[in-house]
Structure 1
């Protein structure tokens, strides 16, 4: 697998822009005494306490821990070094055991570049509230103290692996390239980026999305088949559109879009917000529906934006494949 730093900023990078401050993890104060430990019964994770080996030797003491009120803040702080994946489960959810087992097995294979925390939401309900969990099981990553939604419900191993690869690309784009040293040297250097891609990453870290977009455009001018530059361009353009929006602005544009379904700019803005917030299917369906109702220049503008969001989400994503089929139906 190529180094995560050798690829463009993935779709989840937009989440770091849009979710900054949206979930207040600092409100979960560490108590003077740890909360009761999570009960066992879910294979491979929720029954494993911090500092213990996981059943069957799949995990490691450092890479998979049970989340409690006592260690939660430490895990958030650790996310400045490596991404921390939180698996929120419940004993009443039949999918929880399989999800945790899959996450634990895969995290163990990333050589210390990821850490898994498993949390029983019945034992730690504040965590479910902080992450705004609507269903279990749910997986949410934390990167530099900021949440990045991964998935809810079941996910097969290949899907999870792809999400982890994308998460590590987000981490690299945000300067988080650490390792706990399990199976990989801590000082392993990522493969160098092409100069224009490196310029784009540097601009992203500086918050200069216009400069990042210029770098990706130049890369595409030099090599039109550079798919990573194309995806990177779509992603930083999304980030640039979202950057000036306050929470109040976001609510206002959502209200306008609900009241004016044929207002192009409002629909485009809400689609951006939904992609950045992890509601990808809602965003794509919104634009497909707009295209189906409208004709002329506005329809073409919406179509072009939809194709850009396809690049943001990723061509291999099942939601993109479904939206492409829906788009073909309304166009032809």
Structure 2
């Protein structure tokens, strides 16, 4: 199709918008949902800065369209929303109707519509893509972006956006919002059903291996599962008496982790990796990697632990 030209062609520069001033909505909550999606928002001149701010959490996929100039671009925007929805918060779709918000398009020097732009940390994460992409092309683009982010250790997600609260719900503002993907696993943990939580998190990981939150939940649930009914004193005595026993050392590392002694847990297993050999060394290493996943790859203690593990291995 013929693309509709817009005004002021030129390079897009968002460098001055990388850290916009916070608004009352806060990061990750730019507005109510749109088009029936939990991860799409209509971008207006009023909420534009907040939408940009939310890209500090995870990428925002901006779609510029014009119902009056290029009517089919509205359908394209809907296709992008549907594609983004499938990623459960890895992306937020920001829909910019340039007829309703011309100042945004002018300030970003959008040369034509439709146009897709991925924003991360307030800046373009890739070259803007003009024209209409087919659904499979959108899926490929998002999949490549998701894989690249995961490889860089960027696994955070947007929280599902909520529509305006119904009348009478004012007293619920302080209650934490539970991501519906993990609700069943969290309910199981609240009911002391650790095995059920492991099963629920495993189901999520099997369905989407790139779901870092589910993987972290599974790792922590497995720690809880391994330590059920364990006598802390007896476990520590056994580990002290058998410093090279992998099972004894990994059990105490689990207990240390649950007790908040994260660095101690990591150091115990790094030292064991340094001393062990063969299958026992690999068992200790794999166990340590599981504890890294439970704590979270962005945690500075995990970063230190990984450096120490690399030193022990090589």
For Structure 1 versus Structure 2, the TM-score category normalised by the shorter chain is 0.3 to 0.5
Q: From the CA coordinates, give the structure whose radius of gyration is larger.
A: 2
Q: Which has the higher contact order (CA 8 A, sep 6+)?
A: 1
**TM-score normalised by length of structure 1:** 0.42
